[in-house]
Structures are given as structure tokens and as C-alpha cells.
Amino acid sequence: MSPEEPELRDEQADQAGSAHRSRRWWIIAAVCLAAIAVYFFWVNPQRQSSREASKSPQVSVSVVALPAGTSDFSIYLTGLGSVTPLNTVTVKTRVDGQLMEVLYREGQLVKKGDILASIDPRPFKVQLTQAEGQMARDTALLQNARVDLERYQVLWQQDSISKQQLDTQVALVHQYEGNVKADQGQIDSAKLQLVYCEITAPVSGRLGLRLVDPGNIVHASDATGLVVVTQLQPITVIFSISEDYLPTVVEKMKVTPEMAVEAYDRDQKRKLATGSLLTVDNTIDPNTGTVKLKALFPNSGNQLFPNQFVNARLLVNILKDVIVVPAAAIQRGPKGTFVYIVKADHTAGVRAVSVSEIQEGEAAIKTGLAAGELVVVEGAERLREGSKVELRQDKGTQRKGV
């Protein structure tokens, strides 16, 4: 190898390194130019728009607000109940015979003592005639025995007959007296059977469907009766409440024996009737932890129907002159319950409140609010402390009494 070849390779290596360093600097320069371009054309405009947005006026939040009112607040205990009649009677015949006539309409309202049907009375009239004939015969024998007894008494005083004959006549008189009483019983029995031939309503109420048609032979021992009559006025509702509320109810009954009870439909929107608490069951159901209560309703308009499911509400207390707001205004957070109030400058403020009770979409406030303060009932989810608010009207959120 000649001495010129190593020098040639060194010169070529220096040229390659110089070219590599030149390309690297060009790449760095290109990256820097790209970063500068991104900053001026994207980041800086975004910051400027943010600053402009922060300088723009705050957008008002549209809300519905109602003033806090002052009123009496009723506290109820609610339980699912069933309408139960005081009396449900299956009307049956008390004598055997042919059903001659049905004098009622299905579903008719009847009063106690109204005639519902009649049984053929002719067999019992025959029995009455026989009993009256036997009575007449035995009465005549008794009268004759009494006349003989008077004669025997005179003869015995004259020592004309023995004492045994007199005693025998006395016994005969007693025998005929017993026969007459037995005959009277037969007459009374026949007359009673004739009374039973007219089947009457045992209680006032509504009749059910007819179970036996006229012409059939009916018996007192028949399992099915002629018709079922159910008493409707008054009527009761049996409902259950949690055993936790039992001490409250018992204590209230000592002060107010007839506690008010209201019956509502399934949806708890329509009040059906108003009554009073009748009694409390003597045991607690261990499976459900509830106790049964019975309420009595006049049911003058027949609003309640037997076996109807209702929602019973028992009035246990009335809070006098408390602050009342719609329940929709109550908000809950980590620090407890609060409401948004609307200040005079149309900004929202957070106010911590203590809620006493919530009933029927309204809340009784113990502390934290004054009467007349505006509380937000709709749109609170978009509010923060100091948010600008714009009041609007919404009839759907009007509070009762406002």
C-alpha cells in the first residue's frame, strides 16, 4: 500500500462527518421553525380568545324560583291497605223447601229486614193446623181434669175417697198441663217456620250475584247460600305501618283517640274518603316488621269498595307556622342539605338549611330560611355561588297556596 492511501481515507472520513453534522443542524432548525409556527398560529390565538372570553359578560342562568312561605305542615304515616267490610253475610234459608220467588236485583242496595226471597209456606201451614188441633184437644182434657180434681177434693174432705185417688187426679191435671205447653211449643215452631219462609236481609248493604234461581229446592244445610250481602256503610280499611312508628301512634292515640285517616287511590293523587283510626292490632308481624291498623270510614258516597287496594295516610302531627318550600328546592351535598336563593342583585347564593319533614312534594324547614326568600326550584343543577340568574315563570312548579 502506498503512503498516499491513508491520507486519502482520512480526508474522505472528514468530509462524511462534516456532511452528517450539517444535516443534523438543518433538522434542528426545521423543528424550531415548526414550533414557532404552531405557537403563533394556534397557541397564541387560543390564549387570546380565552382572555377575550374571560372579559366578556357572564351568561345568566334561567331558573324558576318561589318564595318560602309560612303555614301549618301536616305529617302523615302512609301504608298500603285494603278495604274490609264490617260485615259480609251469606244469606241462607233456615227451612227446607222450594224457592218460590226472588224479590231482589243483583247489586241492589238493601236495608236490614228487607224481604229478599220466599220459600213455599204450605207445608208449614199444615203443621200449624195440626199443632193447633192437638192444642185444642189437650186443652179440653185439661179443663175436664181440673173439674174432676175439684170434685175429688170435696169428696176427700168428706172422707168419701182415698188420698190416693186425689193424688192421681192431681198428677193427671199436671200431665195435661204439660201436654198443653208442648202443644203451644209446636204451634210456635210452626209459626216460626212460616216466618223463616220469608228470607230477609240480615244487614244493610249491597247484594252480590244470585246464587240460586227460583224453583230450586233449598235446604238449611246447603253449603252455598242464596246471595251474599256486604255492608258498605260504614266500612273499614286495614293497613300496615312500620313497627318503628308504633310508639308514636300509641302516644298520639292517648291524646287524640280518633286520629284522622285519609284513603287515596293507587297513584296517591285522588283522595277517596276521610275517616278515623279505630284500633291497632295486638301483634307485630315478625316477617315484615309491620303492625296492622284499622280505620273506620262513613263511606256515605260509597267511594270505597270491598277488597279495594288504597293508600292510607294517618295524620300523626301538625307543625304550626313553619317555613315551607317545594321539595324540589332541597339540594344535597357533602356538607348536608342546602338551597339556592336568589339575591336582590339577581345572583344565586348557597344557603345551608335543616329540613324537618318532607311530605307531598313540600319540605318543612327547621332553620336556615326566612319567609319570603326566593328559593330556586328548577334549574339549580346549573348554578354556582354567585351565578347570574334570570327568573322565569313555570305553572307546573307552583307551590300550593302560592
Q: What's the confidence (pLDDT) of residue 400?
A: 47
pLDDT surpasses 70 at 110:
yes
Asked if 150 and 100 sit in the same domain, the reply is yes
> Residues 6 or more apart from 393 whose CB is under 8 A from it?
64
Same domain, 287 and 250: yes
Checking if the pLDDT of 328 tops 70, the result is: yes
222 and 99 within one domain? yes
Q: How many structural domains are present in the chain?
A: 4
202-229 b/e (C-beta count within 10 Å ≥ 16 → b)? bbbbbbbeeebeeeeebeeeeeebbbbb
C-alpha angle 164-169-172 in degrees, rounded to nearest 5: 125
- Note the pLDDT of residue 379: 86
218 assigned to some structural domain: yes
Per-residue pLDDT at 56: 43
What average pLDDT does range 340-353 have in this prediction? 91
Tell whether 324 and 310 lie within a shared domain.
no
Among 179, 197, 227, where does a domain finish? 227
Q: Which of 227, 258, 292 is the last residue of a domain?
A: 227
pLDDT at 333 over 90: no
* Closest to 329 (Cα-Cα) out of 303, 305, 358, 304: 358
Mean pLDDT, residues 68-97: 93
Per-residue pLDDT tens digits for 240-298: 999 999 999 999 999 888 899 999 998 888 999 999 999 999 999 999 999 999 999 99
Q: Are residues 324 and 371 in the same domain?
A: yes
Co-location of 139 and 199 in the same domain: yes
CA distance 88 to 398: 45
What pLDDT score does 8 carry? 46
**Tens digits of residue pLDDT in 121-174:** 999 999 999 999 999 999 999 999 999 999 999 999 988 889 999 999 999 999
**Are residues 213 and 120 both part of a single domain?**
yes
97: pLDDT strictly greater than 90: yes
Mean pLDDT of all residues in the chain? Answer: 86
Cell 380565552 -> residue = 50
Q: Which residues fall within 8 angstroms of residue 290, CB to CB, at 6 or more apart? A: 79, 240, 241, 242, 243, 284
Answer yes or no: do 104 and 201 share one domain.
Answer: yes
pLDDT band at 393 (very low <50, low <70, confident <90, very high): confident
Please indicate, yes or no, if residue 304 is contained in any of the structural domains: yes
Please report, as a single letter, which amino acid is at residue 6: P
pLDDT of residue 175: 96
Collapsing DSSP to helix, strand or coil, 243 comes out as: helix
Q: Which domain holds residue 374?
A: 61-72+320-397
**Residue 244 belongs to domain with CATH number:** 2.40.30.170
* Res. 92: pLDDT tops 80: yes
